[in-house]
Amino acid sequence: MSSQLNAYQECHHRVIQHLQAIYPDHNHALLADNLIEAMCHGGVCAVPEARTNNWSQQDLILITYGNSVEKVGEPPLRTLNTFLQQHMSSVISGVHILPFFPYSSDDGFSVIDYTNVNPELGDWHDIEAIAKQFDLMSDLVINHCSSQSKWFTQFKQGLAPGKEYFVTVPADTDTSLVVRPRTSPLLQAVDTPQGQQHVWCTFSFDQVDLNFANPDLLFEMVRIIALYLDKGVKIFRLDAVAFLWKQLGSPCINLPQTHEVIRLIRTLVEFRTAAAILITETNIPNQENLSYFGNANEAHCIYNFSLPPLLLHTMMTGSCQHLKQWLMSMPPAQSGTAYFNFIASHDGIGLRPVEGLLETAEIDELAEVMQGFGGAVSWRTMTDGSVRPYEINIALTDAMQGTVNGVDDLLVERFICTHAIMLALEGIPGIYIHSFLGTRNDYAKMAQTGSNRAINRHNWQLETLTQQLEDQGVASQIFSNMKRLCELRQQQPAFNPNATQFTLHLGDQIFAFWRQSMRRDQSIFCLNNVTDRPQRVALTQINLVANERWRDIISGTVYEDTREEIELEPYQSVWLSNWDGAGVVMKRPVGQGEPFANQPLNDPDERRRHG
């Protein structure tokens, strides 16, 4: 009993500190009591162990809609669960089911009711069944809700509590500094018993921003988080959280109060269950995105938003110069935090995260090439009224069909190389279901919905999908190769999300880096030919230990002579490890090999390392 009391007191103390920063003039003690009661039923909580990594190299998250795989006469969530258990259980640890709640637009991100499952998908029993088999990741659509929600209906009727849950400003308010991800007007006029009011809509008129300056709304959101935990959710994706706090005269993005709300949620969640994980979804420039780690006290993971466009640019141009420079600049994630790596998503490939990393002309060329491959481009309005490309909308399979020189016959090789890079990098990988399935652009759905993003949100019929994965076409090749890479990754301690990483310098045609396990017993040199031509790499260019033998995990080839060269075929990846297939360090017989292990791995001023 005393330990529970001490835990409650510690939680209460931390929550009050957060609340003092968010709501300086509020009754902090009373609000802290209410929040802890809502999160930790009956106030029962436990002090979390600081800086714990709740992940390993065996973790991989599949990203999917609840109805990405369907079967006539069966709830889609049940069909999805069957498909995952039959085809994916050996390669994924968790599944991110994109918003599965009743909604009015944006394929789920305009939530009508946070507390129920969309009946067109199934019910809470279906969600809980998936959570029993996989680590379940759920969206917390925290910045806004649907204009058809109960709360907004109350707002329009002047009724509590909804009438205080939304951001309103006078129509003539100067909002020129506000950062926007859309071209639609920011303010929407709404008739209420108090007269016409103008509500804040960062994304669309159907997605009305919530007012977190009202602590009662924060309390309601904490109750929703507690409900999701009760239903088996382990990982929370905080959707569009960068826009959460509004302060006139500012850009209304990445404000200090936003960061403090995330820290508060982390504190509450960790005292409820130490295994829970918060991931921030902040599609913004790289340095701003990194700030959501805080001091290892904010997001457990951040979406590595710069990776998709940089990888795409690398594959399109055959040069890893920008990707390599970016990788060297990235700080190692502190213990208790990790990068969430991905290449494709339900939205598209965001371009804001490469602002400052790619030149404007390079971004424009990338968008133009993707349009040539059948993709679309979404735009955003700048503060001066001009528009810039915000996002590329295309199925990754189609994005990989060629280079800046046009379409070629290396789609599968390029696609697999891209994922071999992502799977080997520091961080937890997340793979969109349509990348596993080799899905192509869905022009019919894009035309039907009028949304560019629908091009990469195909709905498969289970029977059709099963047939496609069993034939010998592109989709089948992608599926089998992807699964094999994921299974190989799971077996390598050097691919732990927090294991050491060095950037190697082997020219712009070979993207290379070194991973070392946290126990420092396994090394893997990851060599990736990012061009459509063969490339040669001398093993003397990398820091191989002279008395160990080296084996390519992917092909199984063993390299006996560390003085030889490796010829990499177009888009070939090599994971060169000192472990054999059974996880044992391979030693070289005495007298064999030339000692060159004391060569510097990189220029000390250019390398990046952590352990």
**Residue of 419, 425, 418 lying closest to 316 (CA atoms):** 418
Active site includes 239?
yes
Give binding residues as ranges.
106, 144, 237-239, 346-347, 453
CA distance 596 to 153: 72
DSSP 398: H
Residues 6+ apart with CB under 8 A from 458: 68, 395, 434, 439, 442, 445
**Residue of 165, 307, 143, 147 lying closest to 239 (CA atoms):** 143
State yes or no: cis peptide before 600, omega within 30 of 0.
no
Altogether, the residues listed in the chain come to a count of 611
Work out the burial of residue 56: count CB atoms within 10 Å of its CB; fewer than 13 is exposed, 13-18 middle, 19 or more buried.
middle
Q: What is the three-class DSSP state of 507? A: coil
DSSP letter string, 302-329? EE-TTHHHHHHHHHHHT--HHHHHHHHH
DSSP letter string, 411-467? HHHHHHHHHHHHHHSSSEEEEEHHHHHTPPP-HHHHHHHT-GGGGG---EEHHHHHH
> Which tokens hold the place of 569?
């075929």
Work out the burial of residue 213: count CB atoms within 10 Å of its CB; fewer than 13 is exposed, 13-18 middle, 19 or more buried.
middle
**Residue of 378, 259, 366 lying closest to 314 (CA atoms):** 366
* CA angle (182 as vertex; 447, 323 as ends), nearest 5: 90
| CB 234 within 8 Å of CB 228 | no
Residues 6+ apart with CB under 8 A from 312: 343, 349, 366, 370, 392, 399
Q: Can you tell me which residue has the tokens 């085809």?
A: 87
CA distance 118 to 295: 37
DSSP 546: T
Residues 429-445 as b/e (b if ≥16 CB within 10 A, e otherwise) read: bbbbbbbbbbbbbbeeb
| CB 491 within 8 Å of CB 583 | yes
| CB 401 within 8 Å of CB 373 | yes
DSSP letter string, 204-256? BTTEEEB-TTSHHHHHHHHHHHHHHHHTTEEEEEEETGGG----TTS--SS-H
CA distance 451 to 148: 20
Catalytic residue among 59, 239, 398, 552: 239
Residue ranges in 114-196 assigned as alpha helix (H): 124-133, 150-157
Give binding residues for substrate as ranges.
106, 144, 237-239, 346-347, 453
Q: Enumerate the active-site residues.
A: 239
